Structure 1
């Protein structure tokens, strides 16, 4: 009789879940993660749009109805965390609770409702954690982080893992709506005056990336994707061209929100704030002249958890960490994925193709992800792998890189013809990544008939370029692998490279 294992096999053995409860000026959110790790994987995410900061700028107090909604949400979150057996719950409060005269009383009631102590972040701490969220979520970031919440806007410089001193301004969506009396023209004047008092941040932004953090800016990016018919509905690392962005932001400011394409995907409570978020972002682009705007799904919450990692873990590449986790959870032999990295690396050296540092990490990630679709029906392994990768919760990965990874594994299963996949994802990858994806897939299509995804085989069967030939060397005890199937895969690789394919048996 088969033994039934009751413990979840699709979870990493990294301890119990951890969670963040973020008491913001607009929303109160719970995010629970699988565990404290370099590649954070959410297992539950829920928010309640309470609007705590809606009238703080003019009345100085948290709205009583908003307080009641927030306390009910926090009580629910306490039960959810207990149900998930969360080991550590970090509860954060930001601008609204910081600025309101009844903030201390609210925090006392909130701590009782959620059953945990609450950390009230200063503006400087909020900026620092936002920047650490960008360090956690992007590969070698370089620019200015802007975190726009309901009550405030934080700006902070980040380069690599180095975070500068941040500044906080009362330019959150709810705060602007409040002090401007609902006038967008007045709000624009307030934004311009405030940003002109922070010239060092905008001067340092020129020609660099602006990392846009916050729900309002993510909502704007979602609408921009809909307006441009963008093929990949993933917010993290979505790039907004500043010139195109200015035209779109101006449209948002001028238009009735109900007329915007895909507006139904934005909650009704957030829609009135879109114009204020557009005003702030437009002025940052106009005054700072960034080369691009990168939308971030990472922010304060991820920054707080990143700060709790040990130094060695913080230095890990987030993309490779996530790919390693999926390799462990979903492949037939995790060690084989690691060997595939080294096997393809040796081939690339023999071929003499120069890889950038980023291209090397992408190739390695693809090798670790190469076998995650094996449980699917054979006719759909390529399609399922493409979807898992293109829409996966990866950090440290831009959208062309996502397309490259997805295409590599798709072609590995479906064959090397570009016509087998839609033009939209091919265009997203671009010509260079498309050809690199086909090459890597061709290598994988040679590797798997040799190794059948088992460890220890690929190191015995090196693939090398020798003059005008591409040569696969098999040891004598593996000579029977050299059948028509393997010869056909070698022929396809040779055709792609313009070389003669050769299978050698070592005597």
Structure 2
């Protein structure tokens, strides 16, 4: 007699291939493994680990990868291989940068590394590394315009980016480890090396009045110090921006601290990275002096993210990164994900009928708010506003400025907490946006509160409502099919929303 195995057992036998992707990045300073959930516009990292090996520590002076650094890197790669096996990673990609391409024993190290990883390792040329850095910024920054500078342990890559248009990049041996080695740890010699390499560089002069996108772990460490010292409320590296004049003062001050050895007391930076901070500050100082950018924008999206972005179809690459991430969160967390589509169309209609002025960026953020509108329904009712605010302000997604994060967080906060003064949003978050943006966030939050009261966050209900103007009144008209959803509470919420638009509001039912 044939016994059919239980359904669950049959499903376990026929497992779908894993969609996860691992990127092993063998840099001049760190060796890192990042595992992403899939190839998509909103792919999130499932796992991220690095080991500071210092492969490029002696390449400038000896031409070789240091023996102890090689041993440490190979040990890290063995662990990464084991982790990929534990996580059942679908695909593994491996890349190597300046130290491996410049060292005479680089090929021997790469051969050993490939045997461990079980995958071929692409040794990136300087131009290729610059391009991938730019693609990473294109993936993580909305409509970028400026110069991307990726500072690693061995090199600095520079490349011009404007939207999806990327120019030819170049590479300079100005990474922190390379400078430390070539200058024999003399800051005076290091400054001459940097000055000779950067002064008058045409690729930098093209950045005048634009953004400079700072990519790389040591520059991120500088940003972390600036965030803490300035008391900035959002401890999010990606998208953190500093006016160029302020950044210049900051890096000059860091160099003075280094001269008095007080830089070693900065506990927010890993021990192995602290000696490189001065060189990173020195390079950024000369970049600012030569390029004369308007703003320094720090990007956590770089070569690895650029590699994944390059793998996407053109259609997928051109998707809005913020809306793609918001859509993913909506799918994962909303009670009825398709309700967000109704909500976007419903708010489109009320904005149009009420004559509320809105530019493309404001419309984009409103649509993102609709996608995030059901983010916190599983939380305790008393804490939904706070939970959603923290999730959005600290969310691991890109294609949005810190000001945009704060606006979205406020809109969803008001959606849950309401508009009463005793439930006002935290002052430090409101301080990140203009008063006009706070008012608009309150309006969007109020609109979502009305919509959810009508629909219970379920799809297919909001299309049965529409809006009309009647003198200074804004009418919310319920179709016969949804007339019984009318209530005093709905009427009060709609009046509150209409007041924010400078109108009086009336709910009309057949």
The offset of 1:479, in angstroms, is: 2.1
More deviation, 249-258/149-158? 249-258
8 Å CA contact 1:463–1:472 kept in 2: the answer is yes
Aligned to 1:270: 273
**Which runs of no fewer than 5 residues in structure 2 stay unpaired?**
1-5, 10-15
Deviation at 1:467, TM superposition (A): 3.4
Match 1:149 to one of 135, 148, 152: 152
For residue 211 of structure 1, give the secondary structure of its aligned residue in structure 2: strand
Instruction: Report how far residue 472 of structure 1 moved.
Output: 1.0
Q: Any idea what SS the aligned residue of 1:48 has?
A: strand
Give the TM-score, by structure 1 length. Answer: 0.95
Does 1:168 find its partner at 2:171?
Answer: yes
Q: Give the superposition deviation at 1:366.
A: 0.6
- Larger deviation, residues 497-506 vs 14-23: 14-23
Change (3 A) 1:465 1:211: farther
Deviates more, 1:419-428 or 1:457-466: 457-466
User: Which whole-Å CA distance do the structure 2 matches of 1:482 and 1:385 have between them?
Assistant: 28
Pairing of 1:310-321 with structure 2 (within 5 A): 310-321=313-324
Describe the SS at the equivalent of 2:232. Answer: coil
Q: CA deviation at 1:207?
A: 0.6
Deviations 1:420-445 (A, max 9, x none): 22111001022222111000011011
- The 5 Å alignment of 1:67-82 reads 67-82=70-85
CA RMSD of aligned residues (A): 1.9
Q: Which residue of 2 aligns with 1:10?
A: none
Cα deviation, 1:308-339, whole Å, max 9, x if unaligned, reads 10111011000000001111110000110111
Any idea what the Cα deviations from partners look like across 1:166-188, whole Å, max 9, x if unmatched? 00000000000111111112211
Point out where structure 1 has 5 or more consecutive residues left out of the alignment.
Answer: 7-12
Of the three residues 294, 298, 308, the one matched with 1:305 is 308
Return the match for 2:95 from 92, 96, 110: 92
Cα–Cα, structure 1 residues 322 and 409, in superposed 2: closer, same or farther, change >3 Å? same
Cα distance, 1:107–1:232 mapped onto 2, change above 3 Å: same
Cα distance in 1 for residues equivalent to 2:373 and 2:167: 39
Q: State whether residues 18 and 89 of structure 2, in contact with CA within 8 Å, keep that contact through their aligned partners in structure 1.
A: no
Residues 277-327 of structure 1 show CA distances to partners (whole Å, capped at 9, x for unaligned) of 000001111111101011000000001111110111011000000001111
* 1:189-208: CA deviation from partner (whole Å, max 9, x where unpaired): 111110126x2212210011
Q: Is the 8 A contact 2:356 2:501 kept in 1?
A: no
How many Å separate the matches in 1 of 2:17 and 2:370?
Answer: 23
Q: Report the Cα distance in structure 2 between the residues aligned to 1:260 and 1:475, rounded to whole angstroms.
A: 67
Following the alignment from structure 2 to structure 1, what is the Cα–Cα distance between the partners of residues 261 and 17?
A: 45
Name the CA shift for 1:466/1:249 in 2 (closer, same or farther; >3 Å): farther
Judged with a 3 Å threshold, the aligned counterparts in structure 2 of structure 1 residues 446 and 31 are, in CA distance, closer, same or farther, namely same
2:509 aligned residue: 505
Distance 1:351 1:35, change over 3 A: same
Q: 1:466 to 1:274 in 2, by over 3 A?
A: farther
- Say whether 1:364 aligns with 2:367: yes
Is the 1:405–1:437 Cα contact (8 Å) retained in structure 2? yes
Using the TM superposition, give the Cα deviation of residue 4 of structure 1 relative to its aligned residue in structure 2, in angstroms: 13
Query: Does the 8 Å CA contact 1:143/1:209 hold for their aligned counterparts?
Result: yes
Counterpart of 2:330 in structure 1 is: 327
Residue aligning to 2:3: none
Is this contact kept in 2: 1:223–1:262, CA < 8 A?
Answer: no
Match of 1:35 in 2: 38
Does the CA-based 8 Å contact 2:161-2:167 persist in structure 1?
Answer: yes
* Map of 1:449 onto structure 2: 453
SS in 2 for 1:462: strand
Measured against aligned partners, the alpha-carbon deviations of 1:124-164 in whole angstroms (never above 9, x if no partner) come to 10011011111111111111100000000000011111110
Deviation at residue 455 of structure 1 after TM alignment: 0.2
1:230 is aligned to 232
How do residues 1-400 of structure 1 correspond to structure 2 at under 5 angstroms? 16-196=19-199, 199-256=201-258, 259=262, 263-400=266-403
**Rounded Cα–Cα distance in structure 2 between residues aligned with 1:250 and 1:412:** 44
* Aligned CA distance change for structure 1 residues 230 and 5 (closer, same or farther; 3 Å): farther
How many residues matched? Answer: 497
Distance 2:253 2:233 in 1: 22
User: What is the TM-score of this pair, normalised by structure 2?
Assistant: 0.94
